[in-house]
Amino acid sequence: MRAKYGSRFRTSLLLCAIALAGPAWTPAARAQESERLVVPDGFAVEIYAEGLAGPRGMAFGPDGHLYVALVAEGRVVQLADSSGDGRAEVATTVIEDLDRPIAITWNDDELWVVEMTRIIRIHASEPDSASELTVVVDSLPADGPTSRALLFEPPGQAFYLALAASCDLCREDDIRRATILRFSADGESQEIWAQGLRATAGLALHPGTGELWATDVGRSGLGDRLPPDELNVIRRGRHYGWPYCYGNRLANPEFADSRRCDVTEPPVLAFQAHSGPQGIVFYSGDMFPAEYRGDAFVALGGSGADRSMTAGYKVVRVRVEAGRPLGVEDFVSGWLTPGGRAWGRPAVPLVGPDGALYVSDEAGGRIWRITHRLEGEHSNVGER
């Protein structure tokens, strides 16, 4: 199906602004939902947008508005907070009829979108015409998990694309699977940058070292405690284990070849098994206390059926010092009820121009906004 595009820079019937859909939330109901989430003292969490169909990838545009990929509806929307009250009033469709748009980013004035089988870019400064939408990469493998991640390397002349494996544990026929690929910005040049990454859904560049960091979700079938999910520092040409190894160079019993593991890269940080690390972002804003700057936030999307007891369903803070992770602590939790039922699934964290942390909730259909108040300000929403 051909994607439909509407230029966001001029008034057009193609840019039909629609009210955010969903249930009729009263202010009291919104507060109740927010208060189920727990954040550290001094922080508050509120609903920025709701009633969205599978919000996942997010990016702030050059206009300061938030753009969100709606996987379930196959479109990208612009969310505008025109009143400046910390809540989006309308969602404007930018492009639709897409095949499960997963990741988005901006490179200068171009919006890039990763679908299941291709990467496209939208020339936002050009007249409204068919040439505005350009297919940069085509014929990506379509089957298997929807995990994708896209990240530009400064100054925007190359980008990284993470492609998940097609299976839980297998030898792939397509050498692009379970890798991070590096492309030139025109898509013509392609290189396998790193291998052995089963399901990388988050990429970020460390603000100090410039190193590429990546989350990775491990296999199932080894019980509740194994294997750990991973945070990796990606180096060109290295192999990160899957399908032969997991964790700190341990051999998967199905292959039982420890010699393969001797030359693999172990993770720099292990997450709880089956917690499902998704997006990652380094904090670069000025709103949070100074000690947060340079630390990373990772969305743990949850365990699904891989674990007899649920894990994940929270956003964690990764403390970073001298370019290396020191440890993990909960930052936003509460998407799990005391009975173990999940009512949301955090997917992508993003630092906004205002310094707040925005989190897409793919299962709950919301975008959450986490703020820190100045001393003397009052807020009792979602604190612990």
Each residue of 151-178: pLDDT tens digit? Answer: 999 999 999 999 999 999 999 999 999 9
The answer to whether the predicted template modeling score (pTM) of the entire model surpasses 0.85 is yes
| Burial class of residue 16 in the structure, from the number of CB atoms within 10 Å of its CB (0-12 exposed, 13-18 middle, 19+ buried) | exposed
Q: What are phi and psi of 28, to 5 degrees?
A: -65, -40
Q: What would the mean pLDDT of 258-279 be, rounded to a whole number?
A: 95
pLDDT at residue 21 in the model: 45
Calculate ∠ Cα 272-210-362, nearest 5°. 45
Q: Give CA–CA dist 230/62, Å, rounded.
A: 32
Q: What would the mean pLDDT of 184-213 be, rounded to a whole number?
A: 97
Is residue 314 very low, low, confident or very high in pLDDT (cuts 50, 70, 90)? Answer: very high
Each residue of 84-105: pLDDT tens digit? Answer: 899 999 899 999 999 999 999 9
Average pLDDT, the chain: 88
Closest CA to 79 of 69, 93, 61, 91: 91
* Domain ranges across the chain: 4-372
Q: Which residues of 56-68 are buried (b: 16+ CB within 10 A; e: fewer)?
A: bbbbbbeeebbbb
pLDDT at residue 337 in the model: 87
Q: What are phi and psi of 260, to 5 degrees?
A: -60, -35
| Position 316 pLDDT exceeds 50 | yes
4-372: which CATH topology?
A: Neuraminidase (2.120.10)
